[in-house]
């Protein structure tokens, strides 16, 4: 579970989003949405600990049998965060190995993730010899192979074709049914509407909605239309 209480995020003296209050729970698929520049990546980086909060609190409660609770977190940022000096397979298998899995288990989980992201044919290629979209798949595959309790994915469908994006979200939905917490930002609201349970909508430097997808879509002030309008500007 991840909770925010009167959280204010940004950089030094610049506030990006203020007064964030939410509780993200296990067994939920949460869509983080907002226009470009609304603060989605800043929020994700604050949750992970890359950026320090300006005010308020962000708290984690993770039940795991691993010594380091952050081994139970799968994190994929927008920018590539991979080992440039190895090949695709070695990048992916690092995920479960660093999370404490035995080699036999790590290999099996890495092979599954490569197939899920449709990059089996690239496994022996150096990562600096593949495209940016393929590198994105490698990064996501590494986190999938970790089998984390919590997935935090920033624009994971960028660079993915429609079929692979659907395949990824179907897998994440299965993980949610098995008790995982999934938070993903995406501009593809149509795709999110097919899989998300809850919506966290930030806009105009504040949290404008947190609740069920059903309530978001049925909101009398048409939050969905407001999001689409802001996204188009």
Average pLDDT over residues 2-28: 94
Asked if residue 194 lies in contact with residue 31, where contact means CB atoms within 8 angstroms, the answer is no
Out of 1-15, 56-70, 73-87, pick the least confident: 56-70
* Paired strand residues for 211: 199
Question: Would you say residue 182 has pLDDT above 90?
Answer: yes
- Judge contact between 172 and 144, C-beta under 8 A: no
Overall pTM surpassing 0.95 (yes/no): no
Q: Kindly list the structural domains of the chain, giving each domain's residue range(s) and its CATH number in brackets, ordered by start.
A: 2-63+150-232 (3.40.50.300), 82-148 (no CATH)
12 three-state secondary structure? coil
> Mean pLDDT across the chain, nearest whole number?
90
Question: Given this model, what pLDDT does residue 160 score?
Answer: 87
Do 33 and 186 contact (CB within 8 A), yes or no? yes
Q: Is 11 exposed, middle or buried (0-12, 13-18, 19+ CB in 10 A)?
A: exposed
Q: What tokens does 140 get?
A: 């996501």
Res. 122 pLDDT band, cuts 50 70 90? very high
Q: How confident is the model at residue 54 (pLDDT cuts 50, 70, 90)?
A: very high
Quote the pLDDT of residue 232.
57
Query: Could you write out the three-class secondary structure of 151-212?
Result: EEEECCCCCCCHHHHHHHHHHHHHHHHCCCEEEEECCCHHHHHHHCCEEEEEECCEEEEEEE
Q: Is the pLDDT of residue 86 over 60?
A: yes
Give the pLDDT band (50/70/90) at residue 67.
Answer: low
User: Which are the contacts of 45, defined by CB distance < 8 A and separation ≥ 6?
Assistant: 51, 77
- Model pLDDT, residue 63: 72
Are the C-beta atoms of 81 and 139 separated by less than 8 Å? yes
The whole-angstrom separation of Cα 145 and Cα 195 is: 21
- The per-residue pLDDT for 186 is 84
Q: Which of 92-96, 161-165, 201-205 has the highest mean pLDDT?
A: 92-96
pLDDT level of residue 72 (50, 70, 90 thresholds): confident
Cα 100 versus chain centre, distance: 21
Percentage of residues in the chain having pLDDT higher than 70: 92
């Amino acid at each position: 579970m991840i909770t925010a209480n009167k959280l204010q995020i940004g950089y030094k003296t610049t506030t990006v989003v203020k007064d964030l209050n939410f509780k993200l729970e296990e067994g939920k698929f949460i869509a983080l949405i907002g226009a470009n520049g609304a603060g989605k990546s800043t929020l994700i980086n604050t949750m992970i600990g890359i950026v320090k909060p300006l005010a308020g609190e962000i708290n984690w409660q993770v039940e795991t049998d691993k010594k380091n609770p952050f081994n139970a977190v799968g994190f994929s940022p927008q920018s590539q965060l991979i080992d440039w000096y190895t090949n695709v397979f070695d990048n992916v298998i690092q995920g479960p190995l660093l999370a404490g899995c035995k080699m036999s288990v790590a290999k099996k989980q890495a092979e599954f993730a490569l197939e899920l992201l449709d990059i089996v044919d690239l496994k022996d290629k150096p990562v600096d010899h593949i495209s940016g979209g393929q590198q994105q798949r490698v990064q996501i595959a590494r986190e999938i192979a970790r089998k984390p309790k919590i997935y935090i994915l920033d624009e994971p469908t960028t660079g993915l074709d429609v079929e692979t994006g659907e395949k990824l979200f179907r897998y994440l939905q299965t993980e949610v049914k098995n008790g995982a917490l999934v938070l993903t930002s995406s501009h593809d609201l149509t795709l999110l509407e097919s899989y998300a349970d809850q919506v966290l909508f930030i806009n105009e430097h504040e949290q404008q909605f947190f609740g069920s997808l059903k309530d978001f879509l049925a909101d009398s002030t048409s939050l969905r239309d407001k999001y689409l309008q802001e996204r188009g500007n």
